[in-house]
């Protein structure tokens, strides 16, 4: 699958109404600073589509991007920043829950984790959350350029061992710096869009 066209459609904030545009959706989630915005830009060949943040956790929005006029890539708010209040955490929980309950055309979720790190408790909760909604997911192991090519396979295997799961899912090493893993990821996601 080649991404020929990508456009920002809209943002939804807490309490906002989710829209069901009828086209398939793929959602992207991950810990703040994991490289989600950079990845969206890399996948869409657009360096400015998603805002790469220097301040982790600043925006708490669900952003919809329309790709190839055929499906939505939905950028969900990042999680896991150190200094958030209980109130903010609650607001994130609410946003996620209402998105997943409303997203009737959600076909798959891309869960991002840094290839160098152990999944955090929140990463594992995210996996459980997506499993609870019975949505297929793919784990994207970000910032793969930070480790040698020869080590990427092993690090992905290590990540898999650290994610307790009864679901079958793929893990793809990715780099937004050099585009590594892009074709593979799009190839994995494509069949979900047709399902």
Question: Smaller CB distance to ligand GDP: residue 21 or 56?
Answer: 56
CB of 30 to ligand GDP, least distance (A): 6
Question: Smaller CB distance to ligand GDP: residue 17 or 26?
Answer: 26
CB of 78 to ligand GDP, least distance (A): 5
CB of 16 to ligand GDP, least distance (A): 20
CB of 61 to ligand GDP, least distance (A): 12
Question: Smaller CB distance to ligand GDP: residue 135 or 141?
Answer: 141
Q: What does the binding site for ligand GDP look like in residue numbers (CB under 6 A)?
A: 30, 32-38, 52-53, 56, 78, 142-143, 145-146, 175-177
What contacts 24+ positions apart, CB below 8 Å, involve 95-104? 95/14, 95/60, 95/62, 96/129, 98/18, 99/18, 99/27, 99/62, 99/74, 100/129, 100/133, 100/135, 102/18, 102/20, 103/18, 103/20, 103/25, 103/27, 103/74, 104/20
Question: Smaller CB distance to ligand GDP: residue 59 or 91?
Answer: 59
Q: How far is CA 91 from CA 6, 33, 36, in A?
A: 29, 19, 20
CB of 108 to ligand GDP, least distance (A): 18
Closest residue to ligand GDP: CB criterion? 35
CB of 166 to ligand GDP, least distance (A): 27
- The contacts of residue 107 (CB under 8 Å, 6+ apart) are 24, 25, 26, 71, 135, 136, 192, 193, 195
Question: Smaller CB distance to ligand GDP: residue 24 or 56?
Answer: 56
Question: Smaller CB distance to ligand GDP: residue 54 or 104?
Answer: 54
In the sheet that holds 106-114, the strands lie side by side as 6-12, 62-67, 71-75, 25-30, 106-114, 137-142, 170-173
């Amino acid at each position: 699958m080649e991404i020929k066209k990508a456009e920002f459609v809209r943002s939804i904030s807490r309490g906002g109404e989710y829209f069901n545009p009828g086209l398939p959706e793929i959602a992207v989630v991950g810990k703040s600073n994991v490289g989600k915005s950079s990845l969206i830009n890399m996948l869409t060949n657009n360096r400015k589509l998603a805002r790469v943040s220097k301040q982790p956790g600043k925006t708490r929005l669900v952003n919809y991007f329309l790709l190839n006029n055929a499906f939505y890539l939905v950028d969900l708010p990042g999680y896991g920043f150190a200094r958030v209040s209980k109130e903010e955490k609650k607001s994130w929980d609410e946003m996620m829950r209402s998105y997943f309950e409303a997203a009737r055309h959600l076909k798959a979720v891309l869960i991002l984790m840094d290839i160098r790190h152990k999944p955090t408790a929140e990463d594992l909760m995210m996996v459980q959350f997506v499993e609870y909604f019975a949505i297929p997911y793919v784990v994207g192991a970000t910032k793969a350029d930070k480790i040698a090519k020869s080590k990427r396979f092993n690090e992905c295997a290590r990540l898999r061992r650290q994610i307790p799961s009864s679901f079958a899912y793929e893990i793809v090493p990715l780099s937004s710096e050099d585009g590594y893993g892009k074709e593979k990821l799009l190839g994995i996601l494509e069949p979900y869009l047709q399902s």
